[in-house]
Each structure stands twice: as C-alpha cells, then as structure tokens.
Amino acid sequence: MLGSTIQEVHRRSWILIPVCDDWAALDLLLAVIDALEAPRHFDVLVVNDSPLPPPLACITHPVHGRIRSVRILNLKRNVGHQWAITLGLCHSLTQDYAGSVVVMDADGEDKPEDILRLLDAAEKYNGDAVVFAARAKRSENTVFRLGYYLYRWVHYCLTGIPVRFGNFSALHRQQIRTLVNYSEMWNHYAASVIRSRIPYTSIPTHRGRRLAGKSRMNLAGWVGHGISALSIFSDLVGTRILIASVAGFTCMTSFAVLLILCDYWLQWTFAPVIEAFLVFFALLFLSASMAASFFLFAVMNNRAMASFIPIRDCLYLLESVTTLDFENKPSSTSER
C-alpha cells in the first residue's frame, strides 16, 4: 500500500502556466494535456496575469481524468510573463508536493506531448538538473529567424554563453527553492537558471501551433525580452566590453604609433589617412572602455542595495487563489 502511494506521488506532476487573457487557448491546451496517453496525473497551476477575474466557464471539465485539479493564482495587477512564472514557482513551494514542475506557455506552441519527455528526462537526472526544451528547428517566418539568430550571436559575444531555449522546462523542488531567492528571476527565468549555476540540460523539441487567438508579442516585446535576458549577466557583459575596448584601444594606438614611425622614415603618401582612421578608432575604443567602467561601477553599487526577493515579497502581488478540484468533484473555491 505504501509503495503504491509513493508511486502515485512520483507519477503526479504540476504544470505551471502563466496566462494573460488567453483563456480560449488555455482551455484547448488543458484538453490536449488531459488526453495524453501516459500513466501520469497533473495538477495545473495557472497564474492569471491580469487584474480581471478568471472566466471559470472557459475551463472545461476534463473527461480523461489526467488533470486532477486546476489552481488559479489571481494577481493584484499585470506583472508580465517572467514575474508570473516566478510567482507561480514561489506558490509551488507552499504546497505539500516534492515532484517536478513543468513550466510552459498557454498558447500551445509548447507542445503538450513534450511534457512527458521533459518529466522523463527530469526523473532520469533524479531532479539534479533543470531540463529545458530546446527548439531543434525554428518554424517562424524568415525575418523572425534572422532576428533570433542575430540575438543568439550578440548574446554569445556579450556573455560567452550559447542559448537556444526558453521557458518550457521541468525543474524539481530543490531547484525552485534556490531560484526563488534570486532577484534576477523577475527579469528572466531561463537566464536566472544559468546565472545561478544550477545544473541544466536540454532535449530537442519542435514548435507547435498556436491553439487559439493571436500572439500579442511584437518587435518591441521581443527586444525587451532579449535585453532582460542580457541584464541577468550585466556584470559579465560590462567586463567583456571593457576587456575588448582596452584591447582594441591598445591595438589601434600601437598600429598608429608604428605607422607614424614608418611614415617618418618611408614617407608614405597614404599614411596620414590611415593614421587618422587608427586614431579615430583608438578614441572610440577609449570611450567604450570608459563607459564600460562606469557601467560596471553602477552594477557593483546596485548589488549593495536592497532587492525585491521573490520568495519574500511575492505575497504583496497575490490577490486570491481559485481552485477547481476535478479529482473528487468539480468545485470552485477562493481564498485570500
């Protein structure tokens, strides 16, 4: 009897889904998750990233019994996608649950069948690593793909860290307990995992189709999201820019001095033009190194200031909790 209980705990998993007025897509997503053919059961934690109450009528009662409950965190205001994920992870620590939590979007582009692969991979690593879903192939339009590849190249140049995954992942309680003490989680969940030095890995996946509605993410949103990821490594970015600027200034100055000496002896006619370019770039690198130095001082000084720590301050943003329990009987409760 005890063995079967333990087995049931291990085969019951939480799914964390932030939602901002995308309830039609969420209902379709829950139906697909409920129809997954696997010996697992799921408790869904939805973070309602909107000041409006959730339309409970849009959530259809599961027919296959895979989804045992849906818990909705209602927030006092819109906080954004990354904050919503962080608040959901904070709430998961208050529950009597020790298994893995899957983080995914509500639109269906994170394919539900990959939930099982993420959970299996997480169990393979015994909860010692966060498992991300890495897109093996992009299916967006050409402009988006070019922009994404450019961002990856810029990210690698500025941080030295390659990246090809987003929020879709599975992590264990012990990793959540560490992450919710990082103030950087408010900016970017995936980048915070890398920054925290928690072991992580990835499995290849393909992008699914949006189930309903249209994406609200525009160019400005994508750029802001990328900058948020880079901000997690602000000290590393500043240091690399400073080193590159000092190296560039040293090289340009050395070439300029060498060219001036050669011109003094050889009287090259084109030397003044090249010298002017070298001096210009030397001054440009010098300016960049000074700006990087001031930036680093600001970053280091900011570390000494009080931060908004997720696990400590999450209650300020939580309005109420609505629970739909499908395991015993359909019900709806709300508590402060």
Higher local confidence (pLDDT), 83 or 139: 83
Nearest to residue 9, comparing CAs of 100, 94, 70, 92?
100
Q: What local confidence, expressed as pLDDT, does residue 3 receive?
A: 40
Q: Which CATH class is domain 2-232+311-335?
A: alpha beta
Q: Is residue 317's pLDDT more than 70?
A: yes
Query: Which structure tokens are listed for 163?
Result: 């990246």
Cβ atoms < 10 Å from Cβ of 245: 20
101/255 Cα distance (integer angstroms)? 56
Of the listed ranges 35-44, 100-109, 129-138, 243-252, the least confidently predicted one is 129-138
The Cα–Cα gap between 326 and 336 comes to 21
The answer to whether the CB of 22 falls within 8 A of the CB of 58 is no
Our measurement of the distance from residue 196's CA atom to the centroid of its chain's CA atoms, rounded to an integer in Å, reads: 13
**Rounded CA gap, 169 and 190, in Å?**
9
Burial class, 105, CB count within 10 angstroms (exposed 0-12 / middle 13-18 / buried 19+): buried
Mean pLDDT of the chain: 84
Q: What is the mean pLDDT of residues 35-60?
A: 86
For the chain, list the strands marked E by DSSP: 12-19, 41-48, 67-75, 100-103, 130-137, 165-172, 200-206, 318-325, 332-335
Full strand arrangement of the beta sheet holding 100-103: 200-206, 130-137, 165-172, 100-103, 12-19, 41-48, 67-75, 318-325, 332-335
CB-CB contact of 228 with 207 (8 Å): no
* 187/307 Cα distance (integer angstroms): 12
Name the residue with tokens 């980048």: 191
Q: Quick one: pLDDT band at residue 259, thresholds 50, 70, 90?
A: confident
**pLDDT band with cut points at 50, 70 and 90 for residue 266:** low
Domain boundaries, the chain: 2-232+311-335, 235-303
- Reported as a pLDDT band with limits 50, 70 and 90, residue 324 is confident
Average pLDDT over residues 238-250: 90
* Whether the predicted pLDDT of 8 surpasses 60: no
pLDDT of res. 281: 85
Supply angle C-alpha 194, 202, 70, rounded to 5.
90
